[in-house]
A and B are shown apart, each in its own frame.
Chain A
């Protein structure tokens, strides 16, 4: 068969079969019992040539409304941000994207060093001591933070703020089911975790308390007030954080967080329908040997040259098997690289500037909406997302916005029945004043 991915010629095949000592390739499959041998033709669509397939898939992609054509105010954990052009050029280096986990450090120094740099950047942003090389996404990273807390404290109850991303909470609940953990949600009050309710639930049986910062509503959780409640009972303080917000906000590590997780998607990773993104996972030193996933460490070679290796592997599944701290093997390395490149491009100044711009634009949008009579149920400080009351079904409003080329915000009624008719609006640095004004105008009058 002639195919551009299959190099063997008929002549090669003949010679190889001769070396093996069989008459046909089929003989090599003789150990598959007749009973389970697949004899038919798989109902797989016939192969298409490269140009034909390209044409078909371009047409399929064009059936989707993309964020580069539409003006989007949708966030809810996934954001349309500036991706410096360099990011994709680095990712397209096939030395990176066609390699696997750097098991052979001598020929994987590039990847190992890139991960070491990534770990450093995560620590810098979060104010934590140790970060791993990535997790699948923010949601599973949060679930793993729960499992680590449970293993560390040997307690089986977990408190999670209802202002944490609803899908993250769902993932947490699925993971909890396996190990029969009790997950208790703490209600929100005024858009942030209800401290009185949290205090009432705290006890010596609580493995960890989970909050999001900024939370799902965009509000800045009062970490300073939460921390003593958590540590008083020797529970672990787990914070899920949008890393871009940490360009402006005090790092969770500075507030005494024990584990900080989140998703690096805001840095150099396209929305791509929700994945692949890139979870991050950071801890304070006492939890270092319990962190899930791969870790890269610095060392030296025989000649005293600096080099990097996968390290503390005694935590991992390939060594510890059923006693491992996690089952994760493949992670999101290439997206961690994307985040590192974006963070290097933005640098110290750019991260701060971009974060500030998000904040300023979101505040401008909220004020403009308030001037039009839209009320917000929450008055606290927020980052780049806020909640407004439309007083109308959100999907209806979004339907009309779509006709004007605008993708509206998230319908909070989907997850919070009490917030039906409320929209979660995200405004990133990519939204211009003109676009925000247009969005506000299209929403019309809030007094109606």
Chain B
């Protein structure tokens, strides 16, 4: 095995340090006098021993082996990989936000509570909901929180038979998974050939056991569910609630609001639509908005504005309880708030307009070279199918890997599950036409290569620091940690 990039443990050498702690200024006591012998650690954790420069070189080298939005185009569908504004980072690092303790007296954190309250107000307006909680840490956590509120709502009505959550076959995996964690059974509703929820199938599966229908709109194919009003009626008439997965809100800011479409519960992914950076996989933030009849069930505490300022209300007898220690991923909420205040109402509307313009432009230009399973205007993202290329022996995975050679992050692939050899492309509004064109040209070239010289695609990537990795062995014989050779 060749190791081009040592692990931090492999750079380690006893006798080196990269920290600077003050000298002990209280009387020194041997910890062995403070801890019973059985509880005094005898085997030291094998942590690195490096100098500060060693450390910086290590992580700088790692960063160079990573692609972020600042490195290049990142049209990863469903993830809204837009530009992460730098002022957000500076604001989140202000001592008054970064270094406050969640259990400080309320009068000492009025600025933080005010920001959270105002963010909630803004999210209410943007989504058309009546109340918002900032507690959930990410989208999936918001889904589960919302479903728990729906459960509590039904149970408060003495309705204990609503055991099922309906999700479309195009739904993101977290939807059914969250339903399970919330104790529901998942029922799948089919999509039509047009890529929209099949209303007849919905009528068939909906019933007195329906707790909720979870829906993304625009859906994960990038298509607006045009029959949303009928769908809401069908579900509401059956006594169920309508849940909005806000992962795709970037398509409709200022254009349509989930609250107006009939949704009862909404989660947002502030790390998508509202520029909380994705952080290599998180942290995110997944606020949940609800209509008035679900307000009693919000997680506690709830931020209220009183005569003497903002306070946390714990006296919520019908609350589902706490879903997270403290008040959510505040640092991400600060970034999202900064973003909203940088955009204003017109700016937010323009975000969706350009997100949709960019997606449609790319879709039109690529339609000639790849199969377009749903040929109609898309919203902020669209799906292509690589089935034409598959016949030539080139899989969507190969196309994705070939894109790496052009310096692009590939689209989301093989999701949604209902599209064969799926590629899901979401350009976002922050990309220039030149970038979109460069990506389109690369995709066109790859389509040509698939016809003329498929090996170059099949064997891609050719330019990355590693080639394709053996995932099968990784799963069969898992090596999940470094072990010092002895």
Contacts and interface: CB of A to CB of B under 8 A. Distances in A.
Nearest to A100: B278
Interface in B93-108: 93-105, 108
Contacts of A48: 341-342, 344
B181 A349 contact: no
Contact of A97 (B84, B323, B338): B84
A301 to B, nearest CB: 4
Contacts of A321: 173, 176-177, 186
B260 interface: yes
B210 to A, nearest CB: 16
Contact of B433 (A12, A33, A329, A434): A12
Contact of A220 (B35, B74, B376): B35
B345 interface: yes
Nearest to B269: A330
Interface string B198-229: 00000000000000000000000001101011
Contacts of B25: 432-434
Given A94-B70, A273-B102, A343-B47, A333 B280 contact: yes
A275 B401 contact: no
Contacts of A43: 125, 345
Interface stretch (B53-61, B235-243, B386-394, B447-455): B53-61
Contact of B342 (A41, A50, A60, A110): A50
A311 B474 CA distance: 6
A410 B102 CA distance: 11
A131 B45 CA distance: 15
Interface residues on A, range: 35 or more
A106 interface: yes
A54 B84 contact: no
B96 A322 contact: no
Contact of B68 (A96, A246, A273, A363): A96
Contacts of B305: none
Contacts of A294: 281
B470 A31 contact: no
B344 A107 contact: no
Contact of A298 (B4, B97, B479): B479
B35 A61 contact: no
Interface residues on B, range: 35 or more
Contacts, number: 707
Interface stretch (A77-85, A197-205, A229-237): A77-85
Contact of A96 (B81, B109, B279, B347): B279
Contacts of A274: 101-102, 325-328, 330
A102 B176 contact: no
B296 interface: no
A1 B357 CA distance: 14
Contact of A124 (B29, B47, B331): B47
Interface string B439-451: 0000000000000
B55 A344 contact: yes
B159 interface: no
Contact of A65 (B104, B141, B278): B104
Contacts of A278: 283
Interface string A237-277: 00000000011111100100000000000000011111110
Contacts of A116: 7, 480-482
Contacts of A311: 471, 474-475, 478, 480
A78 B358 CA distance: 44
B67 A272 contact: no
B311 to A, nearest CB: 13
B266 interface: no
Given A174-B321, A249-B39, A309 B464 contact: no
B284 interface: yes
A29 B34 CA distance: 68
A314 B173 CA distance: 12
B226 A31 contact: yes
B364 A21 contact: yes
B344 A47 contact: yes
A411 to B, nearest CB: 9
Given A16-B433, A170-B321, A297-B479, A25 B26 contact: no
B96 A93 contact: no
A41 B345 CA distance: 7
A17 B357 contact: yes
A45 B14 CA distance: 56
Q: Of residues A30, A64, A353, A432, which shows the largest number of chain B Cβ atoms within 10 Å of its Cβ?
A: A64
Contact of A171 (B112, B269, B283, B325): B325
Contact of A120 (B9, B466, B471): B9
Q: Is the interface of B mostly helix, strand, loop or mixed?
A: loop
A107 B462 CA distance: 12
B101 A273 contact: yes
Given A124-B46, A309-B471, A327-B180, A61 B376 contact: no
B481 A3 contact: no
B50 interface: yes
Nearest to B223: A31
Nearest to B128: A38
B129 to A, nearest CB: 13
A33 B229 contact: yes
Nearest to B475: A311
Contacts of B29: 360, 363
B284 A330 contact: yes
A227 B101 CA distance: 34
Interface string B285-322: 10000000000000100000000000000000000111
A66 B105 CA distance: 12
Nearest to B45: A124
A161 interface: no
Given A8-B354, A334-B279, A346-B47, A42 B105 contact: no
Nearest to A382: B34
B192 interface: no
A304 B177 contact: no
Interface string B7-46: 1110010101111111011111101001110111111111
Interface in A9-64: 9, 12-13, 15-17, 19-22, 25, 27-33, 35-38, 41-48, 50, 53-54, 56-58, 60-64
A317 to B, nearest CB: 4
Given A271-B100, A273-B330, A301 B67 contact: no
Q: Of residues B260, B283, B412, which shows the largest number of chain A Cβ atoms within 10 Å of its Cβ?
A: B283
B126 A32 contact: no
Nearest to A142: B325
Given A7-B432, A99-B66, A275-B327, A180 B471 contact: no
Contact of A332 (B20, B91, B282, B474): B282
A41 B415 CA distance: 35
Contact of A64 (B65, B110, B354): B110
A433 B28 CA distance: 12
Contacts of A298: 474, 479-480
A16 B28 contact: no
Interface string B345-377: 111111101101110110011000000000011
30 contacts: A6-B429, A7-B432, A19-B365, A25-B357, A28-B379, A44-B344, A47-B346, A66-B99, A67-B99, A84-B20, A86-B55, A92-B89, A93-B59, A107-B404, A111-B280, A120-B9, A139-B322, A165-B325, A174-B322, A274-B328, A295-B480, A296-B480, A298-B479, A312-B478, A317-B177, A329-B174, A344-B55, A347-B18, A350-B17, A399-B105
The 10 residue pairs across chains A and B that have the minimum distance between CB atoms? A274-B326, A61-B96, A47-B344, A63-B111, A274-B102, A334-B279, A110-B66, A333-B281, A98-B68, A276-B283
